[in-house]
């Protein structure tokens, strides 16, 4: 008599990153399995805890006592090895760090003034965003088809963030290439060629922002770089390196993830025509529709924290230095929080998603990204009411931690 088969092993290691083709095509099946069987557990390959339940993810990202920088993580963990792969400092010591991985008190010291000027400037951008979107749409008129990613999702965010930063229009192509290079710093398994691309982009951006800061001190302009050097002149405790690195971070965040937000939104609407009909009938649904897009197909997959002390989470004892990898997209499909979570519904009430993280490290670019998508999506469908998907194979990008299509061809 044969033995009963044991329960199959949990998905683990790179099976939980976009470099795995099965996960890349459908991350939700594996994440749902983890959420049901082991919502908080130590991954034996990554040597860090994986969290997939909404309640746990929200609690961790909002806990301001947890560490953010991977240097605090156990040396045998994937999150700590992220530091070991930081070729930036090996090539050229940096005199600053991105708020993405800063801990307090430095995080509050840098993020507080940066947030103040960035939010103030972003709040004034609505008319500019509308003009940028309309200009891009004008360029698509009369074409039988186009790629939503390359021809719409990419140009809008780069034109917007370039306007915020004061980047010259003739440098926009370079800036897109540089932002693609810098984002490779978050790639856990990048190749040597990708590392060279990353370092070249970092060097170019450092050179550009150094020159721009020097120029704005002599010739102020109506842009964020001027705002930041004026803050320095007024006594804000920001080094030149911190200004440069965080300006670069805003550039990257303002491009890649907003491109994916727009692309994912178009993809979802064209695959759910009933929801698109709701939006066409009631444009006031645009804001709620965007929150549902962020919940249902978030551009960012995960974020991490590190336990600073002995603690418990989901019944698991944690020790100081244990990394906690929170899957935002798993939390956003948790049936304990969302009724029928795998249904895309732009009239869903109380869409309290985790797409932008939370706590002290909540995405600083969230207000601007929301504004861009709230303008770009309704105007696209209003301009081209007969828009439809062309016959194609949908391929999601293999960049770990991010969710966006390589291309999305539509016909008018």
Domain at 344, CATH number: 1.10.630.10
Q: Which domain holds residue 167?
A: 13-411
Among the residues of 272-285, which ranges form H helices? Answer: 273-281
Tell me the pLDDT tens digit for each residue of 142-162. Answer: 999 999 999 999 999 989 998
3 inside domain: no
Tell me if 351 sits within 8 A of 289, measured CB to CB. no
294 inside domain: yes
Tell me the pLDDT tens digit for each residue of 247-257. Answer: 888 887 778 89
1 inside domain: no
251 inside domain: yes
For residue 5, the model assigns a pLDDT of 45
Rounded to an integer, what distance in angstroms lies between the CA atom of residue 305 and that of residue 326? Answer: 8
178 inside domain: yes
164 inside domain: yes
342 inside domain: yes
Q: Please, what is the angle between helix 192-218 and helix 224-233, to 10°?
A: 60
For residue 95, the model assigns a pLDDT of 66
DSSP string, 352-386: ---TT--GGGS-TTHHHHHHHHHHHHHHHHHH-TT
Nearest to 154 by CA among 382, 405, 395: 405
For residue 2, the model assigns a pLDDT of 33
Residue 391 Cα distances to 198, 229, 260, 410, angstroms: 34, 50, 20, 9
4 inside domain: no
Tell me if 166 sits within 8 A of 223, measured CB to CB. yes
Nearest to 8 by CA among 29, 32, 31, 33: 33
Q: Mark the ranges of the chain whose per-residue pLDDT is less than 70.
A: 1-6, 83-95
Whether a cis peptide bond, with omega within 30° of 0, leads into 105 is: yes
Domain count, the chain: 1
For residue 84, the model assigns a pLDDT of 60
């Amino acid at each position: 008599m044969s033995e009963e088969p044991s329960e199959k092993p949990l998905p683990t290691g790179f099976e939980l990153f976009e470099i795995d083709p099965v996960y890349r095509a459908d991350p939700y099946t594996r994440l749902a399995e983890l959420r049901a069987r082991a919502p908080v557990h130590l991954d034996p390959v990554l040597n860090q805890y994986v969290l997939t339940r909404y309640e746990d993810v929200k609690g961790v990202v909002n806990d301001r006592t947890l560490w953010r920088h991977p240097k605090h993580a156990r040396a045998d963990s994937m999150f700590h090895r992220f530091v070991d792969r930081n070729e930036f400092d090996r090539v050229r010591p940096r005199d600053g760090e991105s708020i993405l991985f800063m801990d307090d008190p430095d995080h509050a010291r840098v993020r507080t003034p940066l947030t103040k000027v960035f939010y103030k400037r972003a709040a004034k951008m609505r008319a500019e965003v509308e003009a940028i979107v309309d200009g891009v749409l004008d360029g698509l008129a009369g074409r039988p088809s186009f790629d939503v990613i390359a021809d719409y999702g990419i140009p809008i965010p780069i034109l917007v963030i370039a306007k915020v930063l004061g980047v010259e229009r003739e440098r926009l192509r370079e800036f897109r290439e540089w932002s693609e290079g810098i984002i490779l710093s978050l790639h856990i398994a990048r190749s040597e060629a990708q590392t060279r691309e990353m370092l070249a982009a970092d060097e170019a951006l450092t050179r550009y922002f150094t020159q721009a800061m020097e120029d704005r001190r002599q010739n102020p302009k109506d842009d964020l770089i001027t705002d930041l050097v004026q803050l320095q002149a007024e006594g804000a405790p920001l080094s030149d390196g911190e200004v440069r690195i965080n300006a670069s971070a805003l550039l990257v965040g303002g491009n890649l993830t907003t491109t994916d937000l727009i692309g994912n939104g178009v993809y979802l609407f064209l695959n759910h025509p009933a929801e698109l009909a709701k939006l066409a009938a009631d444009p006031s649904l645009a804001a709620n529709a965007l929150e549902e897009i962020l919940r249902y197909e978030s551009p960012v997959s995960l974020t991490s924290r590190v336990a600073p002390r002995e603690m418990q989470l989901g019944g698991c004892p944690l020790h100081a230095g244990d990394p906690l990898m929170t899957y935002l997209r798993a939390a956003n499909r948790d049936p304990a929080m969302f009724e029928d979570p795998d249904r895309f519904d732009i009239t869903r009430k109380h869409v309290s998603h985790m797409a932008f993280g939370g706590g002290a490290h909540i995405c600083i670019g969230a207000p601007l990204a929301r504004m861009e998508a709230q303008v770009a999506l309704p105007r696209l469908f209003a301009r081209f009411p007969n828009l439809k998907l062309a016959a194609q194979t949908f391929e999601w990008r293999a960049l770990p931690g991010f969710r966006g299509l390589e291309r999305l061809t539509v016909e008018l």
